[in-house]
Amino acid sequence: MTTATITEVDNRQAQLQNLLNTQREAYLRDPNPDYHQRVNDLKALSRMICNHQDALVKAISDDYGNRSPVESLFCEIYAVLDGIKDTIKHLKKWMKPQRRHVALSAYPTSRNRVIPQPLGVVGVIVPWNFPVNLSFTPLASIFAAGNRALVKMSENSRHLADLLQRISGDYFPADKLRFIADEDGPDGGLGPLFSALKFDHLIFTGSTATGRAVMRSAADNLTPVTLELGGKSPAIVAPDYDLNTAAERILFWKLVNAGQICTTVDYLFLPEGSVDPFVEKARNLVQKRYPDLQHEDYTSVIDDRSYQRLWDTLDDAVARGATAIDLSDGQGRRDDPLRKFPPHLLLNVSDDMLVMQREIFGPLLPVKTYREGDEVVHYVNSRPRPLSIYPFTGKRSVSDDYIARIISGGVSVNNCVLHVAQHDIPFGGVGESGMGHYHGYEGFVTFSKLRPVFYQGPLDPLKLLMPPYGKTAKKILDVMIKMVR
């Protein structure tokens, strides 16, 4: 890099460090906000969303080129407000110190407590695909736990980032919450500089490759991380399950946000002999739901690079022998200025195709067939652990078998994605699909220090074990050991 470039990087790094220092100093002045302050912060998050709902939806759509307003209202606005409401409902219970058993029975007057306390300043790295949900949902947990936050938005969310920067000051001081717009720079953006800051916790949502880089940067500061990554999440339709219902649900979630969801179905297992009827049902569903891809109901691919990547992925699959089924009845255009990529099924796929090697993040759905469930288990388990699996079956024994034998971040049975929307169960990946959990109580725990505290009572039986050691100490220890054998 040139001297000018190095100077620019140093300036940006100094600016980020100053923001962190401001929040750190505020945390040290008020390290443990009480229940009422935390509830006020959560209510302020809700007001920010409610007061600017239309502007938020428009900003997201402007960033996409076109984002279905219904999808933004459902997956972003409603999901966040519902989560905040649930957090407020349970927060008082979560904040209470927990009584724990005292290990030595000789300590009848002593006690143990686990006290949840704020960590300090949390960094949040937000992707572009659900930028309101994936910034405000972590913020609900972060504020519930009593922390402060710096939130770095994606370079693909510039309209939204600009809006959040303009309005957030009306609800929070900069030493409590600050949104940061990413910009192209000499190092490719603020991501590496941001993740190198010495946060008390860092949460990142995005690709596995970027997640590795974030974790490497955080490791230099021993910053704990929560990584919500992606991967290839399969849906598995069992022979007993109604094909119409499976198609309705799988195609709905596969095409929400034009497939740009980390937890969506990445590929589909169908029983042998059911491909043709599934294709027919899928074609009818898509043409009924999206008779005009240019309508606002069908979301754009986020940018030109991603749009071209999807066409390249489709071309690669066809060149290697896959059969491509355009479910939109030929509406797609490769020069579409709104980047409306037509939904496709891909049949006869093989593992050498790009579509089976990397997360798709678009409306392409590869279809594989199987005879026995063991084939499915072996195939999924021979690859990196997925963020989700979606078994469709009317038999509890079948779904239980898949759940027991395939490890994934989460599971929805007889539907897709909906486990992510449940407040009383954690969300998170495993292996290459992520680490750590948040949402609901698990989010409160993730962003808290569960601090163990032992309170010595007025009696101290350890006096009997203090040196010089004699026969009494030996006899007492003999009795204690016999008690725990």
d(CA 330, CA 393): 33
pLDDT of 407 above 50: yes
**pLDDT, tens only, 289-335:** 999 999 999 999 999 999 999 999 999 999 999 999 999 988 888 99
Q: Which amino acid is at 185?
A: G
- Decide if 262 is catalytic: yes
Identify which has the larger pLDDT, 72 or 480: 72
Close Cβ partners of 127 (under 8 Å, ≥ 6 residues apart): 134, 154, 205, 206
Contact 192, 212 (CB under 8 A): no
Q: Say how many Å lie between the first and final Cα of the chain, rounded.
A: 66
Residue 345's beta-bridge partner residues?
325, 365
What single-letter DSSP state applies at residue 322? P
- What is the pLDDT averaged over residues 54-71? 98
- What is the pLDDT averaged over residues 399-422? 97
d(CA 170, CA 51): 11
Would you tell me how many other CB atoms lie within 10 Å of the CB of residue 276? 9
d(CA 35, CA 30): 13
- Region of poorest pLDDT, from 1-15, 99-113, 135-149, 412-426: 1-15
- What is the pLDDT averaged over residues 98-115? 85
Q: Pick the catalytic residue from 76, 155, 228, 359.
A: 228
Contact 3, 155 (CB under 8 A): no
**pLDDT, tens only, 150-179:** 999 999 999 999 999 999 999 999 999 999
- What is the pLDDT averaged over residues 446-474? 91
- Helix/strand/coil percent split, the chain, to 5: 45, 15, 40
| Four-CA torsion 410, 413, 416, 420, nearest 10 degrees | -40
**pLDDT, tens only, 198-242:** 999 999 999 999 999 999 999 999 999 999 998 899 999 999 999
- What is the pLDDT averaged over residues 439-455? 97
Q: Would you say the C-alpha torsion 417, 419, 420, 426 has a positive or negative sign?
A: negative
pLDDT of 187 above 60: no
Q: pLDDT confidence of 105, banded at 50, 70, 90?
A: low
CATH class of the region 234-422: alpha beta
Q: pLDDT confidence of 186, banded at 50, 70, 90?
A: very low
Q: What are phi and psi of 223, to 5 degrees?
A: -75, 125
Q: What is the mean pLDDT of the chain?
A: 95
Fold of 3-229+437-449: Aldehyde Dehydrogenase; Chain A, domain 1 (3.40.605)
- What is the pLDDT averaged over residues 11-18? 94
**pLDDT, tens only, 356-404:** 999 999 999 999 999 999 999 999 999 999 999 999 999 999 999 999 9
DSSP reduced 3-state for 424: coil
- What is the pLDDT averaged over residues 19-39? 98
What single-letter DSSP state applies at residue 469? P
- Decide if 359 is catalytic: no
The length of the chain is 485
Domain boundaries, the chain: 3-229+437-449, 234-422
Q: Pick the catalytic residue from 71, 155, 262, 416.
A: 262
Residue that is written with structure tokens 């002999």 in the block:
273
Residue 6 has a pLDDT of: 62
- What is the pLDDT averaged over residues 241-259? 98
pLDDT of 470 above 80: yes
